[in-house]
Amino acid sequence: MRFPPLSFVPVLLLLLTLRWGLFTEAMINPVDFLALQAIRKSLDDLPGSNFFDSWDFTGDPCTFAGVYCDGDNVTALNLGDPRSGSPGLSGRIDPAIGKLYALTELTIVPGRIMGSLPDTISHATNLRFLAVTRNFISGAIPASLGELRGLRTLDLSYNQLTGSIPPSIGSLPELSSLILCHNHLNGSLPRFLSQTLTRIDLKRNNLTGAVSPTSLPPSLQYLSLAWNQLTGPVNQVLLGLNQLSYLDLSLNRFTGAIPGQIFGFPITNLQLQRNFFYGAVQPANQVNIATVDLSFNRFSGEISPLLSSVQNLYLNNNRFTGQVPVTFVDRLLASGIQTLYLQHNFLTGIQISPAADIPVSSSLCLQYNCMVPPVQTPCPVKAGPQKTRPTTQCNEWRG
C-alpha cells in the first residue's frame, strides 16, 4: 500500500479543516434543515417560475430564496416569487413546516397549492404573520391555529376553505388583521376578543346567522361582511364601532333600521347595498363621508338634507318618498356633489330648473320615481328606459 508523501499530509489536513469549518459554519439547526428538505419535496415551481433554483442543499439554506435565519434557526419563510404576475408554486404544504419552531412569518404567493392547511403549523408557536392567499387550499381552518397566541395577521383569502370560523380564532389575544374573504366558509361569526383587532374582511363567503353586538371589538377600523347570508338587525352592532373608516355590509339579509349615529363617524366608504333594512335613514350630524352607498335596500321615509354633504351618494333602488331637499340641488350645481343617484324610489319632486347647468363632473339620475324628471340627464344602463314609475305603484305605495 502506498502512502502520500509526508510533505503532502499537512496540505491535505489543511484542506479538510477548511472544508469542514466552512460546512459547519453554514449548517443550520438539523431539525430546520430536514424540515426545509421536506417542504421542498412537496412543492414545485409552476412553469415560468424559478424560485427553487437557489435551493441547493449542499450549500447554506439561509441563503435560499425566501429563507431568513437568525443564528441557526429559520425565522421567516416566504415561499414563491413575490413579484407581481409571477407563476407561483404547485403541490401541497408539508406538515414538517410545523418543525420550524422559531418561525415568526410564513407567506406563500398566489399559485396552485392544494390540500389542507396542516394542523402542525400550530407547533410554530412564535408565528406572528401567516398569509397563504390565492391558492387552492381546501378543508377547514384548523382550530389549532388558536394556539398561536402571538399571531397578529391571518390571511387565508381567495382559497377554497369550508366549514365555520373556529371560535379559537376569535380568542387570539393579539390578532390585528383577519382576512378570510373569497372562500366557502359557513356558520356564524365567532366572538372576537382581541382589543387590537382593526381589520376584518369576510366578504364573499356563506356566513349565516345574526351578528351579536358583543362579537366585534370597538377597535375595528375596517369591516367587510358583504356577499354573505347574515341576518338580523345591526343597529346595536354599529353603535359600538366608533372607529370605523370602512364599512361594507352589502348583499346580506340584514333587517331593522340603521342608527343615525353611524353617520357621525369619519367613514370614507360606506356600503350597505342589497340588504333588507327597514325604516328611514336619519343622520344625527352632518355627514363626513366621501361615499355613501345605501342602494338596493328597502329604506323608506324622506331623505335627510344632512346627506347633501356627501360627494358620491347612492340612494337608488329603495323606497324613499317626498321631495328631494333643496340643499342637494345647491350642492350639485356648485360641484359639491359628484354623484347623486336617486332612481327607482318613490320621490315626488325636486326643485331644479329645466335649464339648470349641471357641471360636467357631476352625475344626476332621477328616473323611475313618482314624478317626471325636470331635467334630462344620463343614467346608468341598469336604471332601465322608463322615465317615471307607473301611477298605480305610486298610489299603492302612498296608500
Greatest C-alpha distance within the chain: 115
- Highest averaged pLDDT of the listed ranges 65-74, 81-90, 354-363: 65-74
So what's the pLDDT on residue 164?
A: 98
Cell readout for 45 is 415551481
So what's the pLDDT on residue 284?
A: 53
So what's the pLDDT on residue 273?
A: 64
So what's the pLDDT on residue 312?
A: 85
Q: pLDDT tens for residues 175-193?
A: 999 999 999 999 999 999 9
**More confident: 396 or 26:** 396
Q: Is the pLDDT of residue 7 over 50?
A: no
So what's the pLDDT on residue 251?
A: 78
So what's the pLDDT on residue 90?
A: 98
Q: Is the pLDDT of residue 35 over 90?
A: yes
Distance from C-alpha of 81 to C-alpha of 189, rounded to nearest angstrom: 34
So what's the pLDDT on residue 275?
A: 67
At residue 125's C-alpha, the angle toward residues 119 and 144, to 5°, is 30
Q: 276 and 250 in contact (C-beta within 8 Å)? A: no
So what's the pLDDT on residue 241?
A: 81
For residue 328, give the nearest of 363, 380, 377, 279 by alpha carbon: 363
Q: What's phi and psi for 202, nearest 5 deg? A: -125, 20
Could you tell me the pLDDT band of residue 303, with boundaries at 50, 70 and 90? confident
Q: pLDDT tens for residues 137-155?
A: 999 999 999 999 999 999 9
Q: pLDDT tens for residues 258-290?
A: 544 455 555 556 666 666 555 555 555 555 567
So what's the pLDDT on residue 287?
A: 54
Q: 166 and 146 in contact (C-beta within 8 Å)? A: yes
Distance from C-alpha of 244 to C-alpha of 26, rounded to nearest angstrom: 49
Q: What is the DSSP string of 240-299?
A: T-TT-SEEE--SSEE-SPPPGGGGGS--SEEE-TT----S----SS----SEEE--SS--
Q: pLDDT tens for residues 314-353?
A: 888 888 889 999 999 999 999 999 999 999 999 999 999 9
Residue 44: strand, helix, or coil = strand
> What does pLDDT average to over the chain?
86
Q: 270 and 289 in contact (C-beta within 8 Å)? A: yes
Q: Is the pLDDT of residue 12 over 60?
A: no
Q: Is the pLDDT of residue 15 over 50?
A: no
When pLDDT is averaged across residues 55-82 and rounded to a whole number, the result is: 95
So what's the pLDDT on residue 8?
A: 42
So what's the pLDDT on residue 19?
A: 40
Distance from C-alpha of 346 to C-alpha of 389, rounded to nearest angstrom: 8
Determine what percent of the chain is predicted with pLDDT higher than 70: 84
So what's the pLDDT on residue 85?
A: 82
One-letter amino acid identity for 199? R
So what's the pLDDT on residue 267?
A: 57
Contacting residues for 175 by C-beta, under 8 A, at least 6 apart: 151, 152, 153, 154, 169, 192, 194, 196, 197
DSSP at 188: P
Q: 125 and 102 in contact (C-beta within 8 Å)? A: no
Distance from C-alpha of 377 to C-alpha of 365, rounded to nearest angstrom: 6
When pLDDT is averaged across residues 374-390 and rounded to a whole number, the result is: 91
Q: pLDDT tens for residues 97-121?
A: 999 999 999 999 999 999 999 999 9
Burial of 390 by CB count in 10 Å (0-12 exposed, 13-18 middle, 19+ buried)? exposed
Distance from C-alpha of 361 to C-alpha of 181, rounded to nearest angstrom: 34
